[in-house]
Amino acid sequence: MTKSGIYLGLGTNLGDRKQNLLQAESLLNLLIVQASSFYDTEPVDFLEQPWFLNRVLKIETDLSPRKLLQRCQKVEIKMGRKREIPKGPRIIDIDILFYGDLIVNEPDLIIPHPGIPERKFVLDPMNEIAQDLIHPQLQQPIHEILQSCPDNSVVIRRADLA
């Protein structure tokens, strides 16, 4: 059975950022139902690094959340992801944002992603493709979570990269 309403967040700030995202999408080898625009995003937490290019994908898959996490991590490794500085520069970062209305709380897998309410670089692209999606824990739609988001970092939709 294919599970829908699954959203992945992708980000990169090294090398050819657009190509990194497109390569990751290809390597994931998943059915992409919808993709947000690309967004230039100011770094948060660790500020001394290049800006990121982010986007959100809505996918369908019959992979379990655990198997999906393993697939995402394999793609990160294949693309050369190094985890040297927490929140630091990276060739690719792939996060499971939502998996339907499932709530998972395990040491290495938390769904929905716990950072969503504080991250404009996730909320802006999510709002573009799923503004009425209800967060299964907060019981609020994405557009309301975005309105109350405390993140003041700059997020710019890049229509020129479509």
- To the query of whether residue 90 is one of the catalytic residues in this protein, the response is yes
Distances (CA, A) of 69 to 28, 133, 146, 160: 11, 22, 25, 31
- To the query of whether residue 62 is one of the catalytic residues in this protein, the response is no
Give the pLDDT score at 1. Answer: 47
Q: Which listed residue (17, 55, 71, 93) is catalytic?
A: 93
> How many whole angstroms separate alpha carbon 127 and alpha carbon 52?
18
- Write down the pTM of the prediction: 0.96
Q: Which listed residue (90, 119, 124, 151) is catalytic?
A: 90
Q: Which listed residue (55, 71, 95, 119) is catalytic?
A: 95
- To the query of whether residue 81 is one of the catalytic residues in this protein, the response is yes
Beta carbons of 10 and 26 less than 8 angstroms apart: no
- To the query of whether residue 119 is one of the catalytic residues in this protein, the response is no
Give the pLDDT score at 88. Answer: 86
Give the pLDDT score at 4. Answer: 62
Beta carbons of 23 and 11 less than 8 angstroms apart: no
Give the pLDDT score at 45. Answer: 86
Per-residue pLDDT of the chain (162 residues; tens, 9 = 90+): 455 699 999 999 999 999 999 999 999 999 999 999 999 999 998 889 999 999 999 999 999 999 999 999 999 999 999 888 888 899 999 999 999 999 999 999 999 999 999 999 999 999 999 999 999 999 999 999 999 999 999 999 999 987
Residue-range domains of the chain with CATH:
3-161 (3.30.70.560)
- Give the count of beta carbons closer than 10 Å to the beta carbon of residue 161: 14
